[in-house]
Amino acid sequence: MISELSELQRCKGIIERKLDWGPADAWQTTDFENLSELILTETGVSLSTSTLRRIWGRVEYNHLPSTTTLNTLAHFAGGGDWRTFVRQNKTSTTQPEPEPEAIASQQKPRSWKQLAWIATVVLGIIVASMLAFDKGEPQLEKNTFRFGSQPVTRGIPNSVIFTYDASASPTDSVSIQQSWDNSKRVLVDKNLHKHTSVYYEPGAYEAKLLIGDQVVQHHKLIVGTDGWAGLIDRPKMPVYLKRNEFLHSDHLGTNMKVIEQKNIPMQPDPPLIKYFNVGNFEPVALQKFSFSSEVKSEYSEGAAACQLTYISLMTDDTPIVIPLSVKGCVSDLNLLSVDDYVSGKKADLSALGVDFSNWVRVSCESSGGKIRYSINGRQAFEFPLPSRPIRIIGVAFGFRGTGSIRGVSLKSGEKLVFEAM
């Protein structure tokens, strides 16, 4: 346990030096969000912001991360899996360090050597035990397990009933994970066949059935909305908006009065307000689509000075996320175009810095094997179009504080599929 904690500290130190974001004690929530996206891009595994905050000591947590999490951190740190990462450190530290003169002068040479020998033996036992424990689970026959799901209703929050058969499991360590976020994993009885989970936000999820840390079955799950849905993001559970609190004849958005009536302060941490429309139109293939909308951030007081805003095209794969801010804050932005990720800390995202005193028109379209992004009619970025089939299933908007949306349009080729405001 002590050895693994020491290795985890070393791994975190390597990651901090790799990122070069300054002291980790000063990292903000957006830094952990950015780290989560970087890890996903580089390793293909998602570690949630809450998991990363626990690992970096922002939330009290007295247990070691799961093997999957340790493997992912080691991979991102450049050390292969966790077992390899630990072994490399063991190899690099086998040469004994010189004895400090002060200690040598105070202790007899024989007793110091005995102490060093005992310490070496104890360390060897700990490392050997850890490596023996982490030899990996035997690969299971996945076709002996069954896993399915069915939402209870339409809209959010929404309970999903999972049906599973894990009776062939050689262990009682059977769990169901709601999505890529391993903090949403719960143990289930291998001799039962039903489990229910609540989804608080809409979107495309990949649910998993696991034996130990081994995924034996998984499938995609769409949690849709009943028309437009609005919510205020909170740590434990969102605060949901009534339609008359954000849905208007010529635009979509709420105001400070509505937020304050729900006892949610605007300072010092302005709330993230989200709007969704998921599963209410025919899925649109990413290979030939066009999208446009106009947005306006309307709150810039105090800690909301950056007016952070995003537009997302939610897909049955990785989403498209287009962030916006005032010009001085583009370093905090992260653009995600399915398989391509660009951080404002390592690239010029100045095209995404805008003047929110006027409506900002954001559009994107695919053609000629590219996805092109435009701000106020001027092309800002283009990225390769993934070759695999991907479909747009919904749209989402987010504002740090209050903001409005109008003129939403989504086309498949020349066919208008979805329009609002």
State how far the alpha carbon of 227 is from the alpha carbons of 258, 314, 418, in Å: 20, 15, 12
CB 325 within 8 A of CB 309: yes
Q: According to CATH, where is 1.10.260 located in the chain?
A: 2-91
- Residue 52: closest CA among 88, 4, 16, 6: 16
CATH of span 2-91: 1.10.260
> How confident is the model at residue 344, as a pLDDT?
92
Average pLDDT value over all residues in the chain: 86
Residue range 218-223: average pLDDT?
A: 94
Kindly tell me the sign of the dihedral angle through the C-alpha atoms of 233, 45, 318, 343.
Answer: positive
Give the model's confidence band at 66: pLDDT under 50 very low, under 70 low, under 90 confident, else very high.
confident
Q: According to CATH, where is 2.60.120.200 located in the chain?
A: 229-420
Kindly tell me the sign of the dihedral angle through the C-alpha atoms of 76, 77, 80, 81.
Answer: negative
Residue range 22-37: average pLDDT?
A: 84
Query: How does strand 214-223 pair with strand 309-315?
Result: unpaired
Give residues with Cβ within 8 angstroms of 114, minimum separation 6: none
> How confident is the model at residue 250, as a pLDDT?
95
pLDDT (tens digit per residue) in 103-135: 333 333 444 444 344 444 444 434 444 443 344
- CATH of range 142-223; options 1.10.287, 3.30.70, 2.60.40, 1.20.120: 2.60.40
Q: According to CATH, where is 2.60.40 located in the chain?
A: 142-223
CATH of span 229-420: 2.60.120.200
- Cα 161 to Cα 217: distance, rounded to the nearest angstrom: 16
- Residue 216: closest CA among 134, 144, 136: 144
Cis ω for the linkage preceding 268 (within 30 of 0): yes
**Lowest pLDDT segment from 27-31, 170-174, 286-290:** 27-31
Residue range 179-197: average pLDDT?
A: 90
**Lowest pLDDT segment from 76-90, 176-190, 261-275, 369-383:** 76-90
State how far the alpha carbon of 349 is from the alpha carbons of 341, 344, 356, in Å: 12, 6, 17
